[in-house]
């Protein structure tokens, strides 16, 4: 399948590299508002650089990977759908629930598909974790924790302002990895209760390009809350850009007969550990290849070919967005927020795949 890339910034190289590993899709063209960025990637990865309009008018391109900043995801996605192409977007799906719904509805009216990062849950770490749970290694899941704590990306990202704008913050930036991993393992979320705050009114960029730039903080940067899943499990969550140092694990799930340690959901690998009753942690053999970014779009292209449902799909990303937005909503209203949407756990990756294979 010929695909196009819109957005040739920091993360785009990971996608261009991923596309080199598969015969399922090929990047035909790329574009960016900054044409110099598109030209640089086109030259490096041997594809065509063109304008957004030219890319969308190219009938040979069936799917567009949208790697723009969060605020642009829905607008660009709608343009892609209007041009009759499927869209796979970086995370989050959108920055508010209304426009994200418009994207999903438009795709279904047009018989087109929406896909969305993260695709890290298709890697060895989260797939093996889910397999351990599904195999009954910790029994019925009762509770768990999910922690992503750091001090934000303004020290390394070349253009960090979007992380502190609407659509950024630890929840919409990093939450997609955590909530998607949890939904993949435990199923959909029923309700959220949370309290959120902002540790600093502004941030100062220290990356080489923009050293000293003052960035106003438009979003909450420390979010703490509890998610109740439809299966009854409750997960305590902290997502923070206000913490310099900590000793908290990424994700742990506590079951009736044991505990499961899930690796960093922002990566594709392990380790995955299980402890049964009073036993020690034991490393689990990783039953799947690691893979890397682009595997979600490869899975989507392959699924379009065969007619099956793709795993990193719009329904999952929409549910995850609603859950993430519920944190600030609960904090503002002082009430539990009932999650209106639901979704299916995506099909697990089949056993026995080679790297970069999806079926």
Stretch that binds ligand NAD, among 18-26, 31-39, 180-188, 238-246 (CB under 6 A): 31-39
Stretch that binds ligand NAD, among 70-78, 142-150, 231-239, 349-357 (CB under 6 A): 70-78
Tell me the residue number closest to ligand NAD, measured at CB. 9
CA distances from 119 to 115, 147, 265, 268, 311 (A): 10, 19, 10, 9, 8
33 near ligand NAD, judged by CB under 6 A: yes
234 near ligand NAD, judged by CB under 6 A: no
Q: Which two tokens stand for residue 168?
A: 């950024």
* C-alpha to C-alpha distance for 359 and 351, rounded to whole angstroms: 9
Burial (CB count <10 Å: 0-12, 13-18, 19+), residue 169 = buried
Residue from 3, 72, 316, 324 binding ligand NAD (CB under 6 A): 72
Convert residues 298-327 into a mask of x (bound to ligand NAD by CB under 6 A) and - (unbound): ------------------------------
Which residue lies nearer to ligand NAD by CB, 68 or 83? Answer: 68
Q: What is the CA radius of gyration of the chain?
A: 20
Helices (H), 142-294: 169-186
Q: Which of residues 146-165 bind ligand NAD (CB under 6 A)?
A: 159
CB 65 within 8 A of CB 4: yes
69 near ligand NAD, judged by CB under 6 A: yes
Residue from 20, 34, 44, 308 binding ligand NAD (CB under 6 A): 34
**121 Cβ neighbours under 8 A, 6+ residues apart:** 127, 180, 181, 184, 265, 311, 312, 346
Q: Which of residues 169-188 bind ligand NAD (CB under 6 A)?
A: 173
The residues binding ligand NAD (CB under 6 A) are 6-11, 32-34, 37, 52, 67-70, 72, 76, 90-91, 159, 173
């Amino acid at each position: 399948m010929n695909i196009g890339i819109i957005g040739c910034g920091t993360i785009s190289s990971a996608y261009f590299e991923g596309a080199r590993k598969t015969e399922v899709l090929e990047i035909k063209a790329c574009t960016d508002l900054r044409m110099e960025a598109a030209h640089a990637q086109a030259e490096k990865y041997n594809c065509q650089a063109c304008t957004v309009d030219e890319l969308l008018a190219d009938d040979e391109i069936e799917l567009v990977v949208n790697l723009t900043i969060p605020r642009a995801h829905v607008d660009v996605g709608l343009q892609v759908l209007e041009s009759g192409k499927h869209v796979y977007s970086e995370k989050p799906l959108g920055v508010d629930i209304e426009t994200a719904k418009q994207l999903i509805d438009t795709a279904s009216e047009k018989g087109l598909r929406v896909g969305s990062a993260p695709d890290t849950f298709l890697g060895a770490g989260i797939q093996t974790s889910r397999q351990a749970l599904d195999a009954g290694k910790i029994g019925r899941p009762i509770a768990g924790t999910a922690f992503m704590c750091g001090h934000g990306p303004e020290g390394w990202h070349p253009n960090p302002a979007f992380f502190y704008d609407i659509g950024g913050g630890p929840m919409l930036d990093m939450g997609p990895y955590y909530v998607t991993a949890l939904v993949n393992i435990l199923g959909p979320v029923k309700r959220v209760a949370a309290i959120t705050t902002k540790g600093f009114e502004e941030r100062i960029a220290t990356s080489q390009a923009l050293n000293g730039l003052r960035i106003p903080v438009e979003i909450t940067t420390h979010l703490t809350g509890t998610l109740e899943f439809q299966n009854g499990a409750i997960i305590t969550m902290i997502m923070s850009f206000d913490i310099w140092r900590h000793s908290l694990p990424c994700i742990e799930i506590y079951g009736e007969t044991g505990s499961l340690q899930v690796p960093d959901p922002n990566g594709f690998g392990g380790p995955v550990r299980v402890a049964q009753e009073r036993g020690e942690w034991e490393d689990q053999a990783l039953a799947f290849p690691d893979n890397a970014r682009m595997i979600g779009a490869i899975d989507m292209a392959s699924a379009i070919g065969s007619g099956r449902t793709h795993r990193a799909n719009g329904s999952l990303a929409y549910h995850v967005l609603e859950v993430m937005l519920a944190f600030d909503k609960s904090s503002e209203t002082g009430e539990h927020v009932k999650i209106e949407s639901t979704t299916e756990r995506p099909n697990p990756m089949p056993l026995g795949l080679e790297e970069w294979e999806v079926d």
